[in-house]
């Protein structure tokens, strides 16, 4: 290393030419280098969600998790498969290799899961998607001297107007409580008809259905429909 330094000291022209090449290369590289304030970062995950109303975690693990894991295990590009069994449904995650073709892996996972014929009959249609990290542009807070319901309606209007802008792909509302329907039952009426609170709760639960309605493809992407 010392000989190289001594040689450049004795050959100033070569040292200056090397410096010019380094500076010119840096300038040329800077003009063509991609610069992003919000770079695209993909976690490299494909998820499979399967809802099974009324099922216990043990039933979900045996009836859904194991079968989905075995179906997608071995797909080219999948590094590891993990799952979470909970009440009423399961979440299976497929971790991809960094150099994997994500669209190809997603298609292969969809094909294998759709080919499953051993899932529980009362389980809902699997929802398969690639996990993406949207770019957060800004947070907008809505406040005022009004009730919670009024503020929520105003916020929904603001969201709809922002979502109509072509530069924005998605606008979500955070911090607002979901609407709730409360049912009050008279104890006298229960006694009169010989009913119990659990009977009424079961009747409401049977009538409260959450059904998938398929998917609708639009220019902005695929929209999942539920009723």
pLDDT, tens only, 102-113: 888 899 999 999
Residue 201, beta-bridge partner list: none
Task: Please compute the mean of the pLDDT values over residues 28-54 and round it to a whole number.
Answer: 77
Which strand (E) or helix (H) includes residue 151?
helix 148-163
Structure tokens belonging to residue 144? 């005022």
The pLDDT tens digits for 73-119 are 888 999 999 999 998 899 999 999 888 888 888 999 999 998 888 89
Q: Does residue 206 carry a pLDDT above 80?
A: yes
pLDDT of the residue at 93: 93
**Taking all residues of the chain, what is their mean pLDDT, rounded to a whole number?**
85
Q: Does residue 69 carry a pLDDT above 90?
A: yes
Q: How far apart are CA 227 and CA 212, in angstroms?
A: 6
Q: How far apart are CA 82 and CA 218, in angstroms?
A: 31
Burial of 116 (0-12, 13-18, 19+ CB in 10 A): middle
Q: Are 96 and 44 in contact (CB under 8 A)?
A: yes
Q: What is the pTM of this model?
A: 0.51
123 or 7, higher pLDDT: 123
């Amino acid at each position: 290393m010392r000989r190289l330094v001594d040689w450049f000291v004795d050959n100033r022209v070569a040292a200056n030419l090397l410096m010019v090449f380094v500076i010119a290369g840096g300038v040329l590289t800077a003009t063509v280098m991609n610069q992003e304030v919000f770079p695209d970062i993909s976690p490299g995950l494909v998820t499979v969600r399967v809802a099974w109303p009324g099922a216990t975690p043990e039933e979900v693990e045996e009836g859904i998790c194991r079968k989905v894991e075995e179906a997608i295990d071995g797909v080219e590009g999948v590094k590891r498969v993990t799952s979470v069994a909970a009440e009423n449904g399961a979440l299976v995650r497929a971790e991809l290799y960094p150099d994997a073709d994500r669209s190809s892996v997603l298609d292969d996972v969809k094909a294998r899961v759709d080919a499953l014929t051993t899932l529980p009959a009362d389980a809902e249609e699997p929802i398969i998607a690639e996990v993406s990290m949207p770019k957060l542009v800004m947070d907008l807070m809505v406040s005022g001297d009004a009730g919670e319901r009024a503020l929520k309606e105003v916020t929904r209007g603001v969201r709809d107007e922002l979502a109509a802008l072509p530069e924005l792909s998605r606008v979500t509302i955070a911090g607002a409580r979901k609407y709730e329907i409360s049912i009050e039952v008279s104890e006298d009426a229960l006694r009169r008809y010989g009913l119990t609170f659990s009977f009424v709760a079961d009747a409401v639960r049977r009538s409260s259905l959450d059904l998938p309605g398929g998917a609708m493809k639009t220019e902005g992407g695929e929209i999942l429909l539920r009723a």
